[in-house]
Amino acid sequence: MRARTLTLAAAASAALLATATLPALASPAGSPAPASVREGSVSAADLLAKVSSCNQVSNGKYRTDEETSATIPVCGATGAVFWKADMDIDCDGQVTDECNGDTDPWFQDDTAFHTSGDDPLTASELPYVVVPSTSSTWNYQQAGIKGGGVVAVIYNNKVEYAVVGDTGPTAIIGEASYATANALGIDPDPEFGGAESGVTYILFTGSQVKPIESHSAAVSLGDSLAKQFVANN
């Protein structure tokens, strides 16, 4: 996870405002299909209804960026922990056309968790989420969160299943891979993209996708755990 400057945040906000004033354009022939409303069978509305209030389990709160105040708690529920934050873009891991030292000023060629072949994850291809590194504020491992754990990421009525793929600073929360953002219709540009707010992350405790790089396995397990989550909360 990287700490954005006020200049970058302002540039991103300006870009979002400019986009909002433009009419929607039809997708040209041969362009990728838009992201689906949800992966799996559980709707965003059903999941969000279960995280409308927060039973805080973190000892303090997190910032969303270096320059913001700490306002984001980690909340607990039956079978999961969750938070509501922004989304910064993580492009760390294997070098690709989308993610490299030229496209991302903060690029690192490794991730905290590796593939079944012990390689770094590929941020441009694999939906993954970043969790804060262990601190006195919160210990993700003690909370039952593992590398490869399943995460339901919700934004603008869309549900994307991801895995826990990387760790970030101890005081900042709200980051996911290029592929996660792209699937949710969020600008995945690692320098100027992301979402300023409105992203919900539901991490299912005790879960682990094997192999971690299998997105289809994450969707299958995530759908099953999401059904349990809705039923038990």
- 166-219, pLDDT tens digit by residue? 999 999 999 999 999 999 999 999 999 999 999 999 999 999 999 999 999 999
Q: Is the pLDDT of residue 22 over 70?
A: no
Cα distance between residue 117 and residue 5, in whole Å: 36
Structural domains in the chain plus CATH codes = 6-232 (2.40.40.10)
Closest CA to 149 of 137, 157, 140: 140
Name 58's bridge partners. Answer: none
- Residue 5 — pLDDT band, cuts 50, 70, 90? very low
| Mean pLDDT, range 71-96, rounded to an integer | 98
How sure is the predictor about 27, in pLDDT bands with cuts at 50, 70 and 90? very low
CA dihedral of 43, 48, 50, 56, whole degrees rounded to 10? 150
* Residue-level pLDDT at 137: 98
Q: Evaluate whether 208 touches 162 at the Cβ level (below 8 Å).
A: no
Question: Would you say 228 and 102 are in contact if contact means Cβ atoms under 8 Å apart?
Answer: no
| 127-177 residue pLDDT tens | 999 999 999 999 999 999 999 999 999 999 999 999 999 999 999 999 999
Q: Does residue 16 surpass a pLDDT of 50?
A: no
Looking at residue 74, its amino acid is V
For position 224, what pLDDT does the model report? Answer: 98
Please report which confidence band the pLDDT of residue 23 belongs to, taking 50, 70 and 90 as the band edges. very low
Q: How confident is the model at residue 29 (pLDDT cuts 50, 70, 90)?
A: very low
Spell out the alpha helix ranges (H) of the chain: 6-20, 44-49, 178-183, 215-232
Tokens of 48: 């969000």
pTM for the model stands at: 0.86
Please say if the pLDDT value at position 112 is more than 70.
yes
8 A C-beta contact, residue 121 and residue 110: no
Neighbours of 137 (CB within 10 A): 18
Is the pLDDT at 30 greater than 50? The verdict is no
Question: What token pair was written down for 225?
Answer: 């755990």
Would you call 223 helix, strand, or coil by DSSP?
helix
Q: What are the percentages of helix, strand and coil residues in the chain, rounded to 5? A: 20, 25, 55
Residue 13 above 80 pLDDT? no
**67 phi and psi angles, rounded to 5 deg:** -95, 0
Q: Please tell me the predicted confidence (pLDDT) of residue 81.
A: 98
Mean pLDDT, the chain, as a whole number? 88
